């Protein structure tokens, strides 16, 4: 991060302590936790070290970022109230994406004197690439463990086969989603130390089983229960996500009638 633009920005940077970091986290807690989200801090540098240059975030390496994760309760706490109270059937945007935008908007309101940038998992750059790799963000924040093919000691697949990686949460297994990041571009926290993600799986066999379930049988949900979990999606939530996006309008109409 040695380009002139970033170097010029450092003059505006505010250095905070771990105590001040906790104060930021308390404000985020008030906005996000009641809606079924959790959040974890990390530094831009940790993320940039793990991604290709085209995905790097153009900020000082100590810049404060939070990854935001939806827990199983988000559907009932945030999504259903959103679609039934505010409505979104007339919009062409995905209702869940609209809900995430609505929830993230509360973050900026909580920090009126700070510059805050939010990036959602569904946002794309002009080149049609994701603006942020949320799986990597979750991993470097220590919130989830990002398991990839390269982690296998013995790889049984043809080198030409595409094998997608998958994240596991230590409490929710696969019953969660990485929703985006919150960047404080003018705030650095040099004291923040890396949190190593918990190595949830214990063997190469378990990792291979997870990757096979995720890549070949993701629709049967079993990859999400690869470990014992604290909480799963409700049956209503599973019904919604099992339904094709173009057919979810009927479900939303049903939710509105039932509310």
All residue ranges of the chain with pLDDT < 70 are 1-11, 87-91, 259
> Residue 118 — φ and ψ, nearest 5°?
-115, 140
Retrieve residue 101's tokens: 């935008």
pTM above 0.85, yes or no: yes
> What pLDDT does residue 158 have?
92
Between strands 177-188 and 117-120, the pairing is antiparallel
- Sort 153 into a burial class: Cβ within 10 Å, 0-12 / 13-18 / 19+: exposed
A 10 A CB-CB count for 117 gives 13
Please give the radius of gyration of the chain, using alpha carbons only, rounded to the nearest integer.
19
């Amino acid at each position: 991060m040695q380009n002139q633009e970033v170097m010029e920005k450092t003059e505006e940077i505010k250095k905070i302590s771990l105590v001040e970091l906790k104060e930021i986290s308390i404000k985020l807690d008030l906005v996000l936790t009641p809606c079924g989200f959790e959040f974890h801090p990390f530094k831009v540098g940790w993320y940039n070290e793990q991604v290709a240059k085209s995905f790097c975030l153009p900020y000082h390496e100590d810049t404060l970022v939070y990854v935001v994760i939806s827990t199983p309760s988000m559907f009932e706490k945030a999504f259903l109230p959103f679609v039934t109270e505010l409505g979104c059937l007339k919009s062409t945007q995905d209702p869940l994406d609209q809900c995430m935008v609505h929830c993230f908007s509360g973050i900026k309101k909580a920090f009126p004197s700070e510059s805050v940038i939010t990036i959602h998992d569904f946002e794309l750059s002009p080149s049609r690439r994701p603006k942020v790799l949320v799986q990597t963000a979750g991993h470097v924040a220590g919130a989830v463990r990002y398991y990839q093919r390269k982690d296998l000691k013995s790889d049984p697949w043809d080198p030409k086969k595409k094998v997608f990686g998958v994240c596991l949460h230590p409490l929710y297994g696969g019953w969660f989603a990485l929703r985006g990041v919150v960047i404080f571009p003018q705030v650095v926290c040099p004291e923040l130390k890396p949190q190593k993600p918990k190595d949830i799986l214990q063997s190469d066999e378990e990792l291979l089983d997870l990757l096979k379930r995720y890549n070949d049988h993701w629709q049967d949900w079993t990859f999400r229960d690869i470990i014992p979990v604290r909480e799963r999606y409700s049956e209503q939530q599973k019904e919604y996500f099992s339904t094709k996006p173009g057919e979810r309008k009927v479900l939303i109409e049903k939710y509105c009638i039932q509310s």
